[in-house]
Each structure stands twice: as C-alpha cells, then as structure tokens.
Chains A and B, each alone.
Chain A
Amino acid sequence: MSLKQKDLVSIADLSTDEISLILDTAEKIKQDPASVSSVLSGKIMASCFFEPSTRTRLSFEAAMQRCGGSVIGFSEARNTSSAKGETLSDSIKVISPYVDAIVLRHPKEGSARLAAEYSQKAIINAGDGSNRHPTQTLLDLFTIRECQDKLDSLHVALIGDLKYGRTCHSLVEALARFGARLYFVSPESLAMPQTICDKLKLAGAKFSFHRDLSEIVDRVDILYMTRIQKERFGGGEVQGDLSGCMLNAEKLKNAKPSMRVMHPLPRVDEISTDVDKTDHAYYFQQAENGLYVRQAILKLLLGA
C-alpha cells in the first residue's frame, strides 16, 4: 500500500488501511522525531492559504521543515493573482510545477477536489469552506487512539455546534467506520444535520441526541468539545440552552478515569480553565499531535 502522490481531499477517499498507515507512521515519528528530520530534504511544499488560518498554516509549515523540506506560499488572497480575478484552476496549474505538494486552504466548498483535478502534484486539503478538513480528522483519530489505546468500539460524545462544525461531520463519519457509539450534545438549533445522520445510519452506527453533557459524561471515553460561534445567532434565545454544552471540573466528577476531553482549539469559554489541571484534559496534546500527523501525511504523500 502506498499513498505516494495521492491527494488528500476528504477522509472518505481513504481506506481504513490507509488511515491506519497514516496513524502508525505518525506514531513512529512522535516516538523518534529525529528519524525523519531529513527525509524530505530537497522537497518543496506550497502553502496556499486563500483565507487566513494561522494555526493550520504554522502546523503544516513546521511539519514540512521538521522533515527537512522547504516551504513557499502565501496567506490570504488579497495580494495574489486571485485578487486580480485569476481562477483557482489557473493558479494551481501555475504553482504545481514549482513544488512537490500543495497545501490548500480556500473559502469555497469543493475547491480542493477541483484543484486535485488540475494539479500534477499531491493536493492536501487544509479546509475547503464548510466542507472538509481531513488532516484535522486524522489528528483527532490519532489522538483518540493514543489516549484510549484503540479506535474500535469507543463511546464518543460530541458537544456544541454540531450543525455548522465541519470538524464534527468528518470525525463522526470516520468514527462510524470503527464502530463507535456516538452521543450528540447540542441545543436543538445546532443539532447534527439530517444528511449526516442518514449517512451514519447507512453505516450502521448507533447514536443518540442530548441537551446536556451531564446526561452522558459517566459513560463515554471521549468528550469532544467544540466552540459555539455566538455570532451565528442574531438574538439571545440560544444562550440559555448553552449551559449543557459548557464544561467545568465539577461536571467531570462522574467521568471514567480514562475519559479524555478533546477540543480542536481555539476554545472560548466552553471549557473552563479548571479542567486543564485534571487528568481528563487532552486538548493540548491533541494540538501537538497535529504536527506528527501532518509530518506523516507529507512523508507518505511525497513517497519518502
């Protein structure tokens, strides 16, 4: 099995074996970072951020450089040819001969799929509008496997904005492949979309809906918290509902000792800082893992 010169557009494009290969590679890199410190020397990654996402960009650029490769690129389209009206397909045709892989962040859904059709080099989707962000999903899977010692048959709760949060959509679809039991905690107005629930049913996944994380905290292995973007609501009517989606140390007292709290970060106030000191907090390890997972993806896609 080889991922050489494959594109990474959506997690659904990867077989379960390919996912495992990426996670195993990331694990080796985490254990021995020096082993890959020059594995991509002479290779160039383009970091094309048509909208800003500093954290994702830094993580990719650090990953490439920690593998001995180099990085060119831009952040924000304001000063580039796309501001002058160039199409994405033209930009990709121009950039792809310069480099060995293109990391693409773009505000429009489907941009990465389109770019992959025009690029001779691997396209790595670093977020296409509200659609996909597969490296986030892979680092989440890696982190879950790391802290639970397995990926199969886990009980995973997702909390917060499950309607617009693309992170959650890709993650639950991936977890369904590993037989997870899923719990969706959100206000009614931010519930998991029907189309995703239909896909989960088709995949044979079991899931249930809840308003307050206290209902399920004692039975899950993972609490996956997400940020609720309050600007999505005009009025204050949702605010009252949100308390069930907020976490503090007190609410964790019935949790299993092995239960871990994750969050894609940045957090606002959905996880109070008193959780950080508990053994359950795992979100900073999760952020760190993004580096190893992205190193693994670059190494495999560039065939090193």
Chain B
Amino acid sequence: MNKTLSVQAIKNGTVIDHIPAGQGVKILRLLDLYSNKTRVFVGLNLEGKKQQKDLIKMEDTYLSDAEIQQIAIFAKDATINYIKNFEVDGKSKVDVPTSIKEIFSCPNSNCITRSESVVSEFKVHQVGKSIALQCKYCEKSFDHEDLESKL
C-alpha cells in the first residue's frame, strides 16, 4: 500500500502531500482546519522520498486557488491529490504566487500597515530554495517563518 495513504483512507476529499516536516501544523492553522467541521487526518514526520514530510487529508473538502497559493508559501513542493471514491482522481502541484494579499500581517512593528486598516500585500521572491516575502509598504523582506497569519 502506498505510504501516502497509510494514515487513514478518505472516501472523497483532498490530500496535501509532500509538505516539509514541521510546516503541516502551520498549514492546518492557515486553513483554519482546527475549528471547522471537516474531518481531518494528519500525518507528521512521515518518511518521504528525500526527507521527512507532513501530510494532511481532508474529507469532503476542496481547496480554493487562493488557499493553494497560501500553501505554496509554506510548502512550495507540495502536491494536492483529489480523492474520489477512495481513488486518486487528479493531482496538481502548488504554484508559488507572485504576490499574496490580505493573509499575513507585516512582522515589522514599525510598518504603517500595523497601525492603519489596510490590506496587506507581499511580493513573493524565490531566492534559491527558499521563499522571501517583501512587504509592499515598508519594503522589508521576510522568511515565511517570520509570518503570522492574520486570519
């Protein structure tokens, strides 16, 4: 049996696979999967092809394009599997967006966006293997580790 599916099979829904170990919990928080009524199965620190990975399975839940873009910030190599009747019915890679609005607040405490009600916006740069987000307003750059979700 495929290792990916060793957590718990779902009948219909979505599997986010190949999340770097440690980022799965952040994605759960980002997608607010703690509080809504979705049945969620989580695998942490599973054995991956190259390194340890996290895995999230959501029953009867499908992601919007915006949500997939947010996942890409934390796990740019993640794959999204669509499950239908216990079978993989389609796969897609996540795409790192060129900019991301509204989701994160700027970590710079002296940034104007921290004291005015304004839609946050970051330009996303891929520097080698890592992703840097640059605030459109204060122009400071951050690692995804620095970012806290606004939601």
Interface, chain A (partner B; CB < 8 A): 10, 87-89, 106-111, 113-114, 128-132, 195, 198
Q: Are the C-beta atoms of A89 and B137 separated by less than 8 Å?
A: no
| Nearest A residue to B136, CB-CB | A113
| A107 neighbours in B (Cβ, 8 Å) | 110
Question: Nearest chain A CB to B44's CB is how many angstroms away?
Answer: 32
Question: Nearest chain B CB to A107's CB is how many angstroms away?
Answer: 8
Question: Nearest chain A CB to B126's CB is how many angstroms away?
Answer: 12
Q: Are the C-beta atoms of A108 and B136 separated by less than 8 Å?
A: no
Taking A108-B111, A108-B115 as given, write out 5 further A-B residue pairs in contact, using a Cβ cutoff of 8 Å, ordered by the A residue number.
A89-B116, A89-B118, A108-B110, A109-B138, A129-B110
Q: Are the C-beta atoms of A130 and B110 separated by less than 8 Å?
A: yes
| A132 neighbours in B (Cβ, 8 Å) | 139
Interface, chain B (partner A; CB < 8 A): 106, 108, 110-113, 115-118, 127, 135-141
Q: Are the C-beta atoms of B110 and A88 separated by less than 8 Å?
A: no
Q: Are the C-beta atoms of B116 and A129 separated by less than 8 Å?
A: no
**Main SS of chain B's interface residues?**
loop
Give 10 nearest A-B pairs by CB, closest first: A110-B137, A109-B138, A110-B138, A110-B112, A108-B112, A111-B112, A113-B137, A114-B112, A87-B116, A110-B111
Q: Are the C-beta atoms of B139 and A114 separated by less than 8 Å?
A: no
A109-B137, A131-B139, A195-B141 as given contacts; A114 in contact with B116, CB under 8 Å: yes
Of B113, B117, B127, B141, which one neighbours A110 at CB under 8 angstroms?
Answer: B113
| A114 neighbours in B (Cβ, 8 Å) | 112-113, 116, 118, 137
| A88 neighbours in B (Cβ, 8 Å) | 112, 116
Question: Nearest chain A CB to B110's CB is how many angstroms away?
Answer: 5
Q: Are the C-beta atoms of A109 and B108 separated by less than 8 Å?
A: yes
Q: Are the C-beta atoms of B127 and A129 separated by less than 8 Å?
A: no
Q: How far is the CA of A131 from the CA of B111 in the complex (A)?
A: 10
Q: How far is the CA of A111 from the CA of B114 in the complex (A)?
A: 11
Counting chain B CB atoms within 10 Å of each CB, which of A87, A114, A129, A198 scores highest? A114
Of A109, A111, A198, which one neighbours B140 at CB under 8 angstroms?
Answer: A109
| A10 neighbours in B (Cβ, 8 Å) | 139
Q: How far is the CA of A120 from the CA of B150 in the complex (A)?
A: 30
| B111 neighbours in A (Cβ, 8 Å) | 108-110
| B116 neighbours in A (Cβ, 8 Å) | 87-89, 114
List 7 interface pairs A-B (beta carbons < 8 Å), by A numbering: A10-B139, A106-B112, A108-B112, A108-B138, A110-B106, A110-B138, A129-B138
| B127 neighbours in A (Cβ, 8 Å) | 198
Counting chain B CB atoms within 10 Å of each CB, which of A87, A107, A111, A130 scores highest? A111
Q: How far is the CA of A106 from the CA of B116 in the complex (A)?
A: 13
| Nearest B residue to A169, CB-CB | B139
Question: Nearest chain A CB to B120's CB is how many angstroms away?
Answer: 10
